[in-house]
Structure 1
Amino acid sequence: MKSIFSILLFCFIISFSKAQTVQVIVSDKKTSMRGLSVVNDKVIWVSGSKGSVGKSIDGGDTFTWMTVKGFEKTDFRDIEAFDAKNAIIMGIDTPAYILKTKDGGETWDVVYENKTTGMFLDAMEFWNEMSGIVIGDPIDNKIFIARTFDGGKTWRALPDKYFPVAEKGEACFASSGSNVAALNLQEAVFITGGTHSRMFIRDKKIELPIIQGKETTGANSVGVKHVKKKTTVIIVGGDFTTKDSTTKNCCITTDGGNTFTVPVIAPHGYRSCVEFLNGDNWVTCGINGVDYSKDNGATWTWISKDGFNVCRKAKKGKAVFFAGNGKIGKLVQ
């Protein structure tokens, strides 16, 4: 009996030791960070309020912080980095800006400016180093979309007739730069929230089983897993005024939105970002903590009560980082 007990205890300890946790590596910044791009296990870029951009080239051990000159009041809610030298940041509000650096953040060039009344950019996504997309809130009930095909040097809005039509009160949340994602090599998928919460794939507009009906409700983030011609899409959100509510805050589709399932155990509150990691593993975060799933979103485990706005896995690597209000975290596995 002692032998069996010892074996079971040993197995429990080993299993527990391999549980995922989040280590806070930065906690003293007076910046709201919602933009995060992890190039590899060493190079991490973040962006946020008051024109702030941060960069690490040593896996998060140290960060270099900069304020973009002339944009000290701009909220950079999304960032896309390609290496330690090249990155693109998105300034959300009217006028909306997209800037690019080629020298590691020492200088930034304005590559897109839009002074249209009501313009509010929400998120960027890149298929590769050349091809990207940016989406913005509806203007005259039409969701704004622009594309780049030269690595972000130039951006061109779609013709007005191709802008998707939004319902009254429907918009996008600029909460983590992740409400648009590459669905495959050709297509993007994006999601909306507010009084209506839907998923858009080209001409398809798909109602989501996510809480909706108020300005504070709806889908916030979409993550995509594409393996051997099978695509899994997980969408998270909720109501950011009720951070602990698990009501209709996550849904999953494996057939392009024809059908949806919901988790048996949902993420433990409002979630602003979701990210596919590997195998059947996903991570999601929000203002009351971080959840981890090992079964493609069917069940979620609350692994940290440190709140974050955004989570990202290294494009070329295994590292996973988080960013939020004044702090940066790292997934420990």
Structure 2
Amino acid sequence: MGNPRRSAEHRTGRGTGRGTGRTTVRAVAAALCAAALAVSLTGPAGAAQATRETADPGAISRAAQIWGLKETGTAVRFRGLAAVDHRTAWAAGSRGTVLRTADSGRSWHDVSPPGAGELEFRDIEAFDGRTAVVLAIGEGEASRIYRTADGGATWSESFRNTDPRAFYDCVAFFDRSNGLAMSDPVDGKYRIAATRDGGRSWRILPSGGMPPAQPGEAGFAASGQCLVTAGTRDVWLATGGGATARVLHSADRGRNWTAATTPVPAGDPARGVFALAFRDRGRGIAVGGDYRTGQPSPSAAAVSRDGGRSWQESATPPPAYRSGVAWLPRTRAAALAVGPTGTDLTLDAGRTWHTVDTGSFDTVDCVPTACWASGEKGRVARLEPSRR
């Protein structure tokens, strides 16, 4: 499709080194909510459920400097991000660039695949500090997947798209072995590639269980979050550009899908759902809007409580387009959404959002011990304790 989603903007253009997981969670809660979000540190099962009543927007807005920027030494745009822990993260971006840190962002190693300088990396999935899979987007053979098992010292090209009609947007894994990659519609249906060996090889799944795409509908390669998983078999796919913004769901690792309409505005190639996050098989958040600078993005977030079968508009959505979203670790109802104009926090599972930072980011990723974000001009950051 000749539309802005394949422009340079969206197509060719997702502390301390010794802190424990519990210490990091305590720091995250303090930085975001001051004293408003009380999180039990007895473990995930004991995490206190944050609600709108516990949130003080004033306290949230005063929680300054929640992101600690890390000097990456480059100005490329990082839309691909994989958090491993509070010390280790991978970032993937334009000009075929892949960076890795193992010391909380104090130093970054350029581990870009050789000869990839013309590629646009938009998604990266890492299993640890040595093993990662990175997706390059684009029409035809520009869509590729690379894999490393030695921290980026060497890479193998495990997939190259040979269909000029296909355009791959995102990749996601259920576990270290099983994963999926999704392409914009081919012959009227989204195309899904699957791996069973950790990204070493890929095969195209049959399309019989995929519902028809709407005219003009496609995915957004904006943050590596247009395809997400929860558990061992459930996967969701975000769409835009069609008459309605939809979320497709599969409960059998991508063979059969159902589609649900969301209240996020669409009807234009620049509008739709850009990112998804599921806390579990039931609770999900969708964010998006209109990515064009200066364009309003009302209803830029929606929530689901039934695994994506139905979606409700957020009562107080983010004030502008958001391209990335992630649940905060060890909380039941707190999540972050990021975009070019700022970061927003919800304490009630996506019903209401409050802006907590105005820096530009494209994607965010959280693991039990840390949250990382990345975006334009080489920006990579980690959620930091309050400096107040």
**Does the CA contact (< 8 Å) of 1:243 and 1:288 recur in 2?**
no
Q: Secondary structure at the match of 2:208?
A: helix
**2:71 aligned residue:** 26
**1:329 aligned residue:** 381
Task: Select which of 272, 283, 287 maps to 2:340.
Answer: 287
TM-score by length of 2: 0.77
**Does the CA contact (< 8 Å) of 1:243 and 1:287 recur in 2?**
no
**Does the CA contact (< 8 Å) of 2:277 and 2:326 recur in 1?**
yes
1:236 partner letter: V
Task: Select which of 70, 94, 119 maps to 2:166.
Answer: 119
**1:234 aligned residue:** 285
Matched, 1:200 2:244: no
Tell me how far 1:258 sits from its aligned partner.
4.2
Matched, 1:306 2:359: yes
Task: Select which of 59, 63, 83 maps to 2:128.
Answer: 83
1:201 partner letter: H
**Does the CA contact (< 8 Å) of 1:242 and 1:270 recur in 2?**
no
**Following the alignment from structure 1 to structure 2, what is the Cα–Cα distance between the partners of residues 27 and 62?**
7
Tell me how far 1:37 sits from its aligned partner.
0.4
**1:223 aligned residue:** 277
**1:166 aligned residue:** 213
Tell me how far 1:67 sits from its aligned partner.
3.2
Matched, 1:274 2:321: no
**Does the CA contact (< 8 Å) of 1:192 and 1:198 recur in 2?**
yes
Aligned-pair identity in percent equals 29
Relative to structure 1, is the Cα distance of residues 13 and 82 closer, same or farther in structure 2, using a 3 angstrom cutoff? closer
CA deviation profile, 1:5-51 (whole Å, cap 9, x unmatched)? xxxxxxx9866498362222237522111110011111100001101
Task: Select which of 37, 47, 70 maps to 2:115.
Answer: 70
2:220 partner letter: F
**Following the alignment from structure 2 to structure 1, what is the Cα–Cα distance between the partners of residues 225 and 175?**
16
Relative to structure 1, is the Cα distance of residues 70 and 49 closer, same or farther in structure 2, using a 3 angstrom cutoff? same
2:384 partner letter: V
**Following the alignment from structure 1 to structure 2, what is the Cα–Cα distance between the partners of residues 290 and 26?**
19
TM-score by length of 1: 0.90
**1:36 aligned residue:** 81
**Does the CA contact (< 8 Å) of 2:82 and 2:89 recur in 1?**
yes
**Following the alignment from structure 2 to structure 1, what is the Cα–Cα distance between the partners of residues 309 and 232?**
20
**1:252 aligned residue:** 303
Relative to structure 1, is the Cα distance of residues 321 and 243 closer, same or farther in structure 2, using a 3 angstrom cutoff? farther
**Following the alignment from structure 2 to structure 1, what is the Cα–Cα distance between the partners of residues 152 and 72?**
22
**Does the CA contact (< 8 Å) of 2:71 and 2:106 recur in 1?**
no
Q: Secondary structure at the match of 2:169?
A: strand
Tell me how far 1:193 sits from its aligned partner.
0.5
**1:179 aligned residue:** 226
* More divergent stretch after superposition (37-46 vs 18-27): 18-27
Q: Which has the higher strand share?
A: 1
1:23 partner letter: G
CA deviation profile, 1:181-224 (whole Å, cap 9, x unmatched)? 11432121111001231111133111111100000000001110
Relative to structure 1, is the Cα distance of residues 40 and 245 closer, same or farther in structure 2, using a 3 angstrom cutoff? same
* More divergent stretch after superposition (246-255 vs 19-28): 19-28
* More divergent stretch after superposition (60-69 vs 116-125): 60-69
2:273 partner letter: A
Count of paired positions: 317
2:164 partner letter: T
**1:52 aligned residue:** 97
**Following the alignment from structure 2 to structure 1, what is the Cα–Cα distance between the partners of residues 336 and 165?**
33
CA RMSD in angstroms, aligned pairs only: 2.0
Q: Secondary structure at the match of 1:171?
A: coil
Tell me how far 1:259 sits from its aligned partner.
3.6
**Following the alignment from structure 1 to structure 2, what is the Cα–Cα distance between the partners of residues 130 and 167?**
32
**Does the CA contact (< 8 Å) of 2:131 and 2:150 recur in 1?**
yes
Unaligned runs of at least 5 residues, structure 2: 1-32, 37-58, 251-256
CA deviation profile, 1:50-95 (whole Å, cap 9, x unmatched)? 0100000012221112332121110011001111111111111121
**Following the alignment from structure 1 to structure 2, what is the Cα–Cα distance between the partners of residues 287 and 14?**
28
**Does the CA contact (< 8 Å) of 1:42 and 1:60 recur in 2?**
yes
